Structure 1
Amino acid sequence: MRRSTRFQDEDDESYDSYVTYRPLSRLPTPPSCWKDSSADFCHAVEGEQLKPSLLGPATHLVNLIPVGASLATPSVPLVQAILTRASLPLETIALAVCILDSLDSKFALNWRLSCPLQPPTTPTSPSPTTLSYSKRHTLPATPPSESSSLHIDCINPILIVLAALAISVKFVEDPALSSTYFITKFGNHMWTSDQLNATERCVMENLNYRIMPLYSEDLLAEAMVDMQLAARPLPPRRSPMAPSSGLSRQHEVQAQPQTTPSWARCHGSSASVSVSSGLQY
């Protein structure tokens, strides 16, 4: 069983990095997703001009997604594309940050059990003419239900960010906006209205339907500062310092063996004899 590994630089603690550890489950391997996550990413971001100023808010929103909600890796450019389409004020985005930051550990399991699994697009059923050409004594193949072939990890967890943004927009601007509006304008039809409604309901139940305490000047200001800090790159890595010349010279002096002078080696025996003879007199 793999264990999490931590790579730490003793010279600078800002370069600590962690390897994401996800425990192995006894459950069977989930089926393959109905659509590749990279395809979702290309469908949402390709050909769009992303605003560089929204990189910090997008990064901070991704970091606030509950860890146990999904095994899929969330994409920062995808959230940046959603924020670019939405054109929301920073105050509204900051409220979404406060909403995600207030979710507790119970949200992840509740969302995984409540979110519908149907994909946005359903495959078309075969035409009757196609079925008529099948063999006479062969029953037509019954396609399995879509919900049975899907898994919660096939749903992009950015849906949680979209739900927080939708709740924030409804609270600040217009509470009459429908889920279809957010799915179409913000999400670019990546999810369904039922999935967004279920996610919003899980968020509101987890917060006990209390958004007003989060809409304070102190919390919003702190969220804006965190969004700005999330866009800053890490400082360049410092090179290890070489030992100084004074220390190296000291080590060289200590390493040199102590030698006996040449005159002492040559006259050592005679000097000892003269001293002993003097003592006899």
Structure 2
Amino acid sequence: MDGPATGSSEPGRPEDGTGTPDAGVPGAGTSSGTPSGPSRRLFVSRVVGGAAAAAALGTVGYGTYGVLRGPRVKRVTVPLAKLPRAAHGYRIAVVSDIHLGPVLGRGFAQKVVDTINSTQPDLIAVVGDLVDGSVKDLGPAAAPLAQLTARHGSFFVTGNHEYFSGAEEWVEEVRRLGLRPLENARTELPHFDLAGVNDVAGENEGQGPDFARALGDRDRARACVLLAHQPVQIHEAVDHGVDLQLSGHTHGGQLWPANLLAGAANPTLDGLDRYGDTQLYVSRGAGAWGPPTRVGAPSDITVIELASART
């Protein structure tokens, strides 16, 4: 009788050891630890989603840092046909939309003031939306404005947010701090006229813009620079022969989707533009409203350097 067979393989295993693994074995035919099929798609979607979330958080974080750090200086040359040669190179520091409030307080105001003074401007123009609160609450935060220094002084016009915060009280407060409010008024500087009009939000309080009062009887042979918070006021500026309007209000869009709304509501979102014989410059502003962050629209203080076309 033959004895037991020797050298036989275990049941279910190929005898020569060269066969492929059983297809029924879990994980067979795949690399160790790599998901396949639906599991792989879920893995990829989670990786992509996580990366997108990280990128979004990083972008918002950097935008917040940019606001809290303070605005950077932007320099723009604007030629004016009526500007005399003696005024060539005249510097106007334009700041808008500082939005002092619970987040951006006295320390932020000090950064803005120090940045403006470092540019050694001939004139300073604060074109509205200085605050988001009352003089009682934010008067101390605005106190550094008293340190603003320019050869021909500092001037102020109201923005729409002043009318949410007690415009009359703020006009008197900035006057006390040494700024000169231009409430539908004009002053004759040595080489050009400087005018300012109230914001359109003041119409609800009987304090709206009055272009005829500010500009109606001026000598149009002289160059004229107008301070007006909102870019939409450009059309009346054109009608009154203004050479350059300086505005803010838009924040340059600040962040999506506000940039789409601001772009639709304003003739110019930011930067220098021309309407007939009138040029319009819109600052992106120094602060932020709502969330203290900016994406794709960094804050600025603009130094406008006037250039004479007669040189």
- Shorter-chain TM range is under 0.3
Higher helix share: 1
User: What TM-score results when the alignment is normalised by the length of structure 2?
Assistant: 0.21
Q: Which has the higher Rg, Structure 1 or Structure 2?
A: 1
User: What TM-score results when the alignment is normalised by the length of structure 1?
Assistant: 0.23
